[in-house]
Amino acid sequence: MTRELNGRELQQFIKVRQLRQVRNLRQEHGIAPKLLIVMSKTASDVIAAYVRMKQRYARDILIDVEIAAVEQSDMISTVQQANDDASIQGIIVQLPLDDPAGTSEICNAIAPEKDVDGLGEHAIFPSATAQAIDWLLAGYGVDLASKVIAIVGRGKLVGAPLAKLWGERGLNITIFDDQTPLRDMQRFDVIVTATGVPRLITSDMVKPGAVVVDAGIASEHGKLIGDVDDSVRAMTHVTMTPKKGGVGPLTYTVLFDHLIEVCLKRADKL
C-alpha cells in the first residue's frame, strides 16, 4: 500500500495559523492583506479553475484578492502599476502564459518585495512550489539530510529553484534534465520530478521505501496527468504524492504565507 504525502491535509493545519495571523493584522494593525493575480484575458478553463482555488483559500483566511485579466502585452504595465499601489502587498502572474517566452520578463517586473511566488530573478522569497515541496516532506517527517535525492527536471518553476534551495542546505542532490539519461534511479531515497513528461518515472526506477514527489503537469487527451506512471502507485512500501492534492494546494498556501510575512514586516514598522 502506497503511503500518501497529502498536501491538502497538511494545508489545513497551516490554514489555522494563517487565519489567526491575518485576523491579528486586520484587528490590531489595520492592515488588510491583498494579493493581485495577473492572468491572461484568454486563459483556459484549467487556469481559471486554479485562480478560483486561490480565491477560495484567500477568502477562508480573510485575504483580499484582485484579479487583473489582461492581454499578455499589457501585463508588465499592470504589474508596474501594482508595484506602486501600497494597498497591494503581493503580486503573482498566473502561469502558464499564452506565450511562455515572455514569462521571465513579466515576472521580473514584479517588485522583489511583492514577488510572493518567488519567480523573479531578484525575489526575496524562494519559489513557492519549491518551498511547498520542502514543507510537504518536512510535514511528513522525511529527513532529507540523511537521504540521496534526485531532482528530475531543471525548469525555472520547480527543478532549478528546488535545487538551489536544497543545494544551499548542503543536501545530497543529483539533478537530471533532458540532457541527462535517467540511470541508476533505484539508488535514490527521494525522487522529485517536474518535467511535464507523462509517465516518465516507472516502477523499475523506484526502489522499495523510496519517497516520490510528482510535481509535473501535462495535458493528455484533455486530462491533466503527472510525470509518474501508475505502476509506481501500485508499488508497496513507497511514499508519494496523490494524483490530486499533493504539491498544488501547498504551493498557494506558501505564496499566501509569503504575503502574510510582507504584512507582518509592515506591521512591525508601524
Is 253 domain-assigned?
no
In whole angstroms, what is the distance from residue 40 CA to residue 162 CA?
Answer: 26
Is 94 in the same domain as 136? no
Tell me whether residue 125 is exposed, middle or buried, using C-beta atoms within 10 angstroms of its C-beta: 0 to 12, 13 to 18, 19 or more: buried
254 within a domain of the structure (yes/no): no
**How far apart (Å, rounded) are the C-alpha atoms in residues 214 and 174?**
16
Q: Is 89 exposed, middle or buried (0-12, 13-18, 19+ CB in 10 A)?
A: buried
Q: Are residues 180 and 207 in the same domain?
A: yes
Query: Does one domain contain both 138 and 237?
Result: yes
- DSSP string covering 193-256: E-S--TT-B-GGG--TT-EEEE---EEETTEEE-SB-HHHHT-SS-EE--SSSSHHHHHHHHHH
For residue 115, give the DSSP letter.
Answer: B
In this structure, are 134 and 233 located in the same domain? yes
> Residue 163: its pLDDT value, please?
97
Residues in Cβ contact with 58 at an 8 Å cutoff, skipping those fewer than 6 apart: 35, 64, 65, 256
Query: Are 205 and 229 found together in one domain?
Result: yes
Q: Would you say 251 and 224 are in contact if contact means Cβ atoms under 8 Å apart?
A: no
Supply the CATH number for residue 223's domain.
Answer: 3.40.50.720
Structural domain containing residue 80: 29-112
Q: Within this chain, do residues 75 and 137 fall inside the same structural domain, yes or no? A: no
Which of 127, 116, 118 lies closest to 34, judged by CA?
116
**Are the C-beta atoms of 182 and 191 separated by less than 8 Å?**
no
Tell me how many domains the chain contains.
2
Q: State the DSSP H helix or E strand holding residue 37, giving kind and residue range, or none if neither.
A: strand 34-40
**pLDDT tens-place values along the chain, 270 residues long:** 568 999 999 999 999 999 999 999 999 999 999 999 999 999 988 889 999 999 999 999 999 999 999 999 999 999 999 999 999 999 999 998 989 999 999 999 999 999 999 999 999 999 999 999 999 999 999 999 999 999 999 998 899 999 999 999 999 999 999 889 999 999 999 999 999 999 999 999 999 999 999 999 887 777 788 999 999 999 989 999 998 899 999 999 999 999 999 999 999 987
Helices (H), the chain: 7-29, 45-60, 75-83, 103-108, 128-139, 159-168, 230-233, 247-268
Which domain CATH number covers 57?
A: 3.40.50.10860
Same domain, 150 and 79: no
Q: Do 147 and 92 sit in the same domain of this protein? A: no
Task: Give the global pTM.
Answer: 0.94
Bridge pairing between strands 223-225 and 218-220: antiparallel
Contact between residue 191 and residue 201 where contact means Cβ atoms under 8 Å apart: yes
